[in-house]
Amino acid sequence: MSAAVRAGWSRGWIELRQSFTNGADLWAHFFWPILMLAALFWLRDSEFASSGLLLGTLALPSVLGMNVALGMVNMSQQLTADREDGTLLRAKATPYGMVGYLVGTVVSVAGVLVTDLLIFLVPGIFLVGGVALEGAGAWLTLLWVLVLGLVAALPAGAVLGSLFVSPRGQGLITLPLLGLIAISGIFYPVAALPGWVQGVAQVFPFYWMGLGMRSALLPDAAVAVELGGSWRHLETAGVLGVWAVVGLLVAPVVLRRMARRESGSVLAERRERALRRLG
């Protein structure tokens, strides 16, 4: 199994490096960060109520948390695409192939996410100002929120990806996830939303990823606009930890079931249906 893990790790890094030499992948790397930077530019001079805090400053760390949460969508899309083109079937046919496949996919998706975060964060700091990533504590908070957020998001994305047999079905989960992100305080503090919306937002990891990022990147005065006037690090770790544990327990089960259903005849039938749709 160790050989499969090493092979998966190597495959993930190769895919990540190749994404910087492919035009379509480069477009994907820069399009979303540029779009979010444009939103920050638009919000940079807007003040939230009478707090003295600018919406652009509040939104920057929230967008970082949102991007980590979108790893759930990226993982789901990657898994569905690999099942569609036969990559998953080829992995299943080799000893410990599924282990190597999953390691490689996690490395690739996580690497892309971290890269995109840096592409957004560096210019974003200069664009809006007011960011206070100072001291070892802030860096440590940023690190554990990022790592725990990825561990919470990627297994959940794998579970969602196992539910759909074609990329066309991804829209069924992408739109609801974007809706949840919209009510999770990314571009406007969740404290200003109705109470029932706040309750829904706090069930899912998106709000907590944004809150954790804000606690690392914003000055202490910014906590005044948060729910309860606190950064709630313990609750953040608890909710993200629960999502991570549940995902890590459920994902291997559903992925094994999905792999067992894959066969050459199933893949051929899937391709035939796709050709009929194109025809």
Amino acid (1-letter code) at residue 112: V
Q: Give Cα 54 to chain centroid, integer Å.
A: 25
- Please tell me the predicted confidence (pLDDT) of residue 207: 92
Amino acid (1-letter code) at residue 16: L
Among 38, 68, 209, which residue's Cα sits nearest to residue 128?
38
pLDDT in tens, 214-271: 898 888 888 888 888 889 999 999 999 999 999 988 888 888 787 777 666 666 666 6
pLDDT in tens, 30-60: 888 888 888 888 877 777 666 667 777 788 8
Q: Is residue 215 helix, strand or coil?
A: helix
DSSP 8-state secondary structure symbol assigned to residue 54 = B
Q: Write the DSSP string, 143-195.
A: HHHHHHHHHHHHHHHHHHHTT-SSGGGGHHHHHHHHHHHHTTTSSS-GGGS-H
Which helix H or strand E contains 25, and what residues bound it? helix 23-43
Q: Is residue 225 helix, strand or coil?
A: helix
Between CA 133 and CA 214 the distance in angstroms is 10
Q: Which two tokens stand for residue 87?
A: 């990559």
Between CA 25 and CA 78 the distance in angstroms is 13
Amino acid (1-letter code) at residue 121: L
Contact between 78 and 29 under an 8 Å Cβ cutoff? The reply is no
Q: Which two tokens stand for residue 210?
A: 């944004």
Average pLDDT, the chain: 82
Model confidence, pTM:
0.84
Q: Which two tokens stand for residue 207?
A: 């709000």
**Which residues lie closer than 8 Å to 261 by C-beta, 6 or more apart?**
none
Q: Is residue 263 helix, strand or coil?
A: coil
Between CA 180 and CA 173 the distance in angstroms is 11
Which residues does residue 54 pair with via DSSP β-bridges, in sequence order? 47
- Please tell me the predicted confidence (pLDDT) of residue 258: 78
Q: Is the pLDDT of residue 202 over 60?
A: yes
